[in-house]
Chain A
Amino acid sequence: MFVPLKGAWALIFGVSSGMGLEAARALAEAGCGIIGVHFDLAEGRQEAEQHAGELGDLGVAAHFFNRNIASKQARAELVPVIRELTAGAGLRVVVHSVAYGTLTSLLPSPDGREPGTTAKQLAMTVDVMGHSLVYWTQDLLEADLLPRGANIFAMTSTGGTRVLPNYAPVAAAKAVLESHVRHLAVELAPRGVAVNAIRAGTTITPALRKIPGSDQIIAQCREINPGGRLTRPEDVAEAIVTLSSSDSSWLTGNVIGVDGGEALVR
Chain B
Amino acid sequence: MSDNQAAAVDIDDIRALIAEEIELPVEEVTDEADLAGDLEVDSLAAMEIAVQLEKRYRIKIDEEEISTFTSLSVIHRFIAAKVGTG
- Residues of A near any B CB (own CB < 8 A): 39-43, 66, 68, 70-71, 100, 102, 120-121, 124, 128
Contact = CB atoms under 8 A, between A and B. Distances in A.
Given A41-B47, A120-B42, 12 more contacts: A41-B51, A41-B60, A42-B59, A42-B61, A43-B60, A43-B62, A68-B47, A100-B44, A100-B47, A120-B40, A121-B43, A128-B44
A70 B43 CA distance: 13
A68 B22 CA distance: 13
A39 B51 contact: yes
Nearest to B36: A120
Contacts of B28: none
A66 B43 CA distance: 17
Q: How many residues of B sit at the interface, in one of the four size bands?
A: 10 to 19
Interface string B15-33: 0000000000000000000
A70 B61 contact: no
B44 A68 contact: yes
B50 interface: yes
B3 interface: no
A82 B49 CA distance: 25
B48 interface: yes
Interface string B46-65: 01101100100001111100
Query: Per DSSP, are chain B's interface residues mostly helix, strand or loop, or mixed?
Result: helix
A57 to B, nearest CB: 26
Nearest to B59: A42
A43 B63 CA distance: 10
B61 A41 contact: yes
Contact of A41 (B42, B43, B44, B50): B50
A124 B47 contact: no
A124 B63 contact: no
B18 to A, nearest CB: 15
A102 B54 contact: no
25 contacts: A39-B51, A41-B50, A41-B51, A41-B54, A41-B60, A41-B62, A41-B63, A42-B54, A42-B60, A42-B61, A43-B60, A43-B62, A66-B51, A68-B44, A68-B47, A68-B48, A70-B44, A71-B48, A100-B44, A100-B47, A102-B43, A120-B42, A121-B43, A124-B43, A124-B44
